[in-house]
Amino acid sequence: AREVDEKVQQIQSLANAADAIDSCRRCPLYEQATQAVFGEGPKEAQIMFVGEQPGDQEDLQGRPFVGPAGQVFDEAIKNAGIDRRRLYVTNAVKHFKFIPRGKRRIHQKPNAGEIQACRFWLNLEREFVKPRIVVALGATAAQSLVGKAVSISSMRGKPIDLEDGSVLYITNHPSYLLRIPDPETKAREREKFEADLALIHAHI
């Protein structure tokens, strides 16, 4: 534990934080996960997107939003005219939480304690990147950034001033779109998601 503390005390940059995170023991999620998944993107990024936590693919590859939700995300930002290479993309919780079921690993929502424990890392990312705009993808990210549970439907499209001077936009998580069975509802929700992203793009 002392080695871990020393690494954390020596964090002076985004690269130091990325290096220290794999030794994080702030909550028990590290026990099951393959690795911690830190955020990714230029440290000068003006926009930071915050998801929930790594999924199965992200846990294996060590990069955020590279699995099915990442594909939805990539497509939606492209349609909104946003270039992913200019974004800093991260998650509220850095370890994958799941229950094993046969060969599959079933995603579990992180709880309030896990979200709170991992705010340490998200706060470091915000301090080092200093984005002008922060986008919460879904309820977990919104909870981490606002400090309490918020409803997406009532908050989307209403920017919130955060204490560090950045502006927070709240929208749905791309996985939400993947879970909608009805094609018409799915198409409508996809349009709403892309409209939220286009609004954000207009504010860059």
**Using CB under 6 A, which of 47, 52, 152, 193 touches ligand URA?**
52
Residue 79: both structure tokens together: 């349609």
**Using CB under 6 A, which of 17, 27, 29, 64 touches ligand URA?**
64
91 touches ligand URA by CB under 6 A = yes
Question: Cβ neighbours of residue 165 under 8 Å, at least 6 residues apart?
Answer: none
- To the nearest whole angstrom, how small is the minimum distance from the Cβ of residue 5 to ligand URA? 27
Residue 118 near residue 92, CB atoms below 8 Å = yes
* Alpha carbon distance 152, 110 (integer Å): 17
Among 66-74, 123-131, 146-154, 186-194, the segment contacting ligand URA (CB under 6 A): 66-74
39 touches ligand URA by CB under 6 A = no
Residue 111: both structure tokens together: 């709880």
DSSP alpha helix (H) spans, 34-93: 56-61, 68-79
**Using CB under 6 A, which of 54, 126, 128, 196 touches ligand URA?**
54
Q: Choose between 19 and 56: whose C-beta lies nearer to ligand URA.
A: 56
Q: Choose between 53 and 144: whose C-beta lies nearer to ligand URA.
A: 53
Query: Which of 200, 119, 110, 193 has the alpha carbon at shortest distance from 152?
Result: 193
Angle between helices 183-202 and 68-79 (to 10 degrees): 60
**Using CB under 6 A, which of 18, 27, 38, 51 touches ligand URA?**
51
Q: What is the footprint of ligand URA within residues 155-184 (CB under 6 A)?
A: 175
Q: How many residues bind ligand URA (CB under 6 A)?
A: 13
* Alpha carbon distance 54, 33 (integer Å): 10
Q: What is the footprint of ligand URA within residues 101-160 (CB under 6 A)?
A: none
55 touches ligand URA by CB under 6 A = yes
**Using CB under 6 A, which of 11, 14, 33, 69 touches ligand URA?**
69
Query: Helix or strand or coil: residue 95?
Result: coil
Query: Which of 80, 79, 78, 58 has the alpha carbon at shortest distance from 67?
Result: 58
Binding site residues, ligand URA, CB under 6 A = 51-55, 58, 64-65, 67, 69-70, 91, 175
